[in-house]
Amino acid sequence: ACASEVIMKVDTTGASKKTALQYNLTYKGVNASHQMAQADAARLYDLRIIKRVGREFGIEPAVIAAIISRESRAGNLLQEVVQNTVNVNLNQGGYTPQGAWNREGDLRQCTERLADCIEQIKFRHPDWSKAHWLKGGIAAYNTGVENVHDRVHVDEYTTNGDYSNDVVARAQWYKEYVF
């Protein structure tokens, strides 16, 4: 349950220019991540599902929403693209997608994988803070636990080199304005 109530304490640099360009933004950083989160807010899955799944796995719903936003622009992409992204992320972690595409089922499976990544980071780096375990777990969700070596370069091997920083900044926006 380290992800609950910690998200607002996590230091973040936000989105890279490359990530921000996906939304046609000409700036980067925390402000870009907040703008992307806001743009996706209306398209988020049913918030009750996100809250229920978050409670089940001890993950802050804002973090789940931020990952949905980052991975699929909150469902703005075609379901097939979203499903492929989910399948790739699950397969990287040794998880096998179960059955046909199902919002709650797939969300539950991805959230379980995130919780597992956080626990593995906690085990590998017991001296890190809760905030660093969360950020490291988010990075590991994207790139694999074996690619998260230290707190300073947590995004070294993540997509666009900013995955956890962008997700954290989006999650902070969702925590403040949605959840």
- Delineate the domains of the chain, giving CATH numbers in brackets: 7-177 (1.10.530.10)
Tokens 């046609």 map to which residue? 24
88 beta partners: none
pLDDT in tens, 65-113: 999 999 987 555 434 444 544 554 554 555 455 554 457 888 999 999 9
What pLDDT does residue 76 have?
A: 53
Amino acid at 13: T
> Can you tell me the distance from the alpha carbon of 60 to that of 143, in angstroms, rounded to the nearest whole number?
21
For residue 44, what is the DSSP state?
A: P
pLDDT at position 9 over 80: yes
Q: For residues 135 and 156, is the Cβ–Cβ distance under 8 A?
A: no
According to the model, what pLDDT value does residue 104 have? 85
Average pLDDT, the chain: 86
φ and ψ of 120, to 5 deg: -65, -40
**Nearest in space to 12 (alpha carbons), one of 179, 173, 169, 170:** 169
* Per-residue pLDDT reduced to its tens digit, 31-75: 999 999 999 998 886 788 999 999 999 999 999 999 999 998 755
Rounded-to-integer distance, Cα 125 and Cα 130, Å? 11
Residues 6+ apart with CB under 8 A from 158: 139, 142, 143, 147, 164
H runs (alpha helix) in 17-60: 17-21, 30-41, 47-57
The pLDDT, as a whole number, for residue 79 is 47
Contact by Cβ (8 Å): 101, 79: yes
**Residues with catalytic annotation?**
71
